């Protein structure tokens, strides 16, 4: 009997594409994606990784598991509220509803009453001004860095930006504020030293070449000890006489003071203290989508909005919709996590610990995202074996713990209470997998 090459038994592409489950997948996935899944299963059979009879089940499993995005939802059990690697702020239910509504045709630049073109993002602007009455006007761009680039370009391109050396920070992924500003064509005029800057340093720097004075809130660090800095009120006394714009980059996005974060700057206080323009991020302590917020004097905001660069960095309709709903709606998840009741956190943690037979330890959460550097948020965590961390990250659901001092810690501050049982099930699966792996190694 002639030997039959098993590769000839591999199902044909057209036969696999005709399977009912594959036809259904072709309605939600692109044709190239579906064909790649089919081809991948066939190639595994050709290499001998799977038998020809396993190709069809492999294709069915692949199309069932594949979604149109590779991004995976993650349960944040680190205790870090604004986690940059997890996309910063999770959106509120109101913001999610607004995103869905804005995914179709919406009146983002249209007055439905008269059929004429209207100001883009009028709803988001109105919501921001209602939440921060100290601002005369507001402009929304696509992120905080874009807001700073727009402000320094419009106010100081070809001129000087006066800034303290102690505020020339490096933000996430290695982006440095001096590089960002100099890319606009502005010239940095550094004053003072790393730890001490005085009013006279600014006074000596101001002149005909000054485009603006920039005050930056340090991100992710604190300077302590023999230090000195100049506040906005003092700076305003210098800049007002010559009409030099005073720009305050606050970063974290509080619109008003928060008693939980007494040392974190906010837009209302900064404007009342003399800032002409305040810059902040929408996806940090505000709890909304990625956006750059510019709040302040009407004439300066109008000047920024008319600059050609404003078109290049403008926010899209989805961000505008989510931002408006964040500001006008109820407390978003970031605010809820920041103000979480410590007794409730302890009760939730102890319930899961009792079900799993693991200890509970005190654990300090963090704001994250450059907000309130060094400020601890008292709480609790489950203490698990360090070996569970990788299994939890790659499990279903994916759970991100904190690995610290040889332990895997699960802090529930940023986990919605309705997801506690999902955390419980994820840990049980991980413990079972860890036990099986240990038993296999011992065998």
Q: State the average pLDDT for the chain.
A: 93
Q: 404-428 pLDDT, tens per residue?
A: 999 999 999 999 999 999 999 999 9
Q: Residue 374 is encoded by which pair of tokens?
A: 């060094």
Q: What is the C-alpha to C-alpha distance for residues 74 and 395, in angstroms, rounded to an integer?
A: 10
Q: Where in the chain is the domain with CATH 3.90.1150.180?
A: 74-83+336-442
Q: What is the C-alpha to C-alpha distance for residues 76 and 74, in angstroms, rounded to an integer?
A: 6
Report whether pLDDT(178) > 50: yes
Q: 6-44 pLDDT, tens per residue?
A: 778 899 999 999 999 999 999 999 999 999 999 999 999
Q: Where in the chain is the domain with CATH 3.40.640.10?
A: 91-329
How sure is the predictor about 1, in pLDDT bands with cuts at 50, 70 and 90? very low
Q: What is the pLDDT of residue 443?
A: 59
Instruction: Classify domain 74-83+336-442 by CATH number.
Output: 3.90.1150.180
Report whether pLDDT(439) > 70: no
Q: Residue 157 is encoded by which pair of tokens?
A: 């391109």
Q: Residue 235 is encoded by which pair of tokens?
A: 């700076």
Report whether pLDDT(106) > 60: yes
Class of domain 91-329: alpha beta
Report whether pLDDT(225) > 70: yes
pTM equals: 0.91
């Amino acid at each position: 009997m002639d030997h039959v090459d098993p590769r000839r038994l591999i199902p044909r592409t057209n036969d696999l594409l005709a399977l009912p489950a594959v036809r259904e997948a072709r309605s939600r996935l692109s044709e190239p994606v579906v064909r790649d899944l089919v081809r991948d299963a066939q190639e595994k059979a050709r290499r001998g990784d799977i038998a020809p009879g396993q190709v069809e089940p492999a294709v069915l499993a692949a199309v069932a598991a594949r979604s149109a995005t590779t991004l995976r939802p993650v349960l944040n059990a680190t205790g870090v509220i604004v986690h940059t690697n997890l996309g910063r702020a999770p959106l509120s239910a109101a913001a999610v509803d607004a995103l869905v509504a804005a995914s179709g045709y919406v009146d983002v630049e249209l007055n439905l009453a008269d059929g004429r073109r209207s100001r883009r993002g009028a709803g988001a602007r109105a919501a921001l001004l209602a939440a921060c009455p100290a601002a005369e006007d507001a402009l929304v761009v696509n992120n905080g860095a874009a807001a700073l680039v727009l402000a320094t370009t419009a106010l100081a391109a070809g001129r000087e930006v006066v800034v303290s050396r102690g505020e020339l920070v490096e933000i996430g992924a290695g982006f440095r504020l001096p590089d960002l500003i100099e890319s606009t064509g502005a010239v940095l005029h550094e004053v003072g030293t790393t730890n001490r800057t005085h009013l006279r340093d600014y006074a000596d720097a101001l002149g005909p070449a000054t485009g603006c004075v920039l005050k930056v809130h340090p991100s992710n660090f604190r300077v302590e000890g023999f230090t000195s800095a100049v506040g906005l009120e003092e700076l305003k006394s210098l800049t007002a006489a010559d009409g030099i714009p005073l720009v305050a980059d606050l970063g974290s996005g509080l619109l008003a003071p928060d008693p939980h974060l007494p040392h974190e700057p906010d837009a209302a206080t900064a404007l009342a203290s003399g800032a002409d323009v305040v810059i902040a991020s929408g996806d940090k302590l505000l709890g909304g989508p990625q956006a750059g917020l510019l709040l302040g004097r009407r004439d300066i905001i109008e000047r920024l909005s008319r600059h050609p660069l404003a078109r290049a960095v403008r926010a899209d309709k989805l961000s505008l919709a989510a931002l408006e709903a964040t500001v006008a709606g109820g407390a978003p998840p970031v605010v809820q996590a920041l103000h979480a009741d410590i007794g409730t956190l302890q009760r939730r943690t102890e319930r899961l610990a009792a079900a799993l037979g693991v200890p509970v330890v005190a654990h300090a959460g963090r704001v994250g995202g450059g907000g309130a550097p060094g400020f601890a948020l008292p709480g609790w965590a489950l203490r698990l074996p360090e070996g569970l961390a990788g299994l939890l990250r790659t499990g279903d659901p994916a759970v991100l713990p904190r690995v610290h001092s040889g332990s895997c810690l699960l802090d529930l501050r940023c986990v919605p209470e309705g997801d506690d049982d999902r955390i419980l099930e994820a840990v049980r699966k991980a413990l079972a997998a860890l036990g099986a792996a240990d038993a296999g190694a011992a065998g």
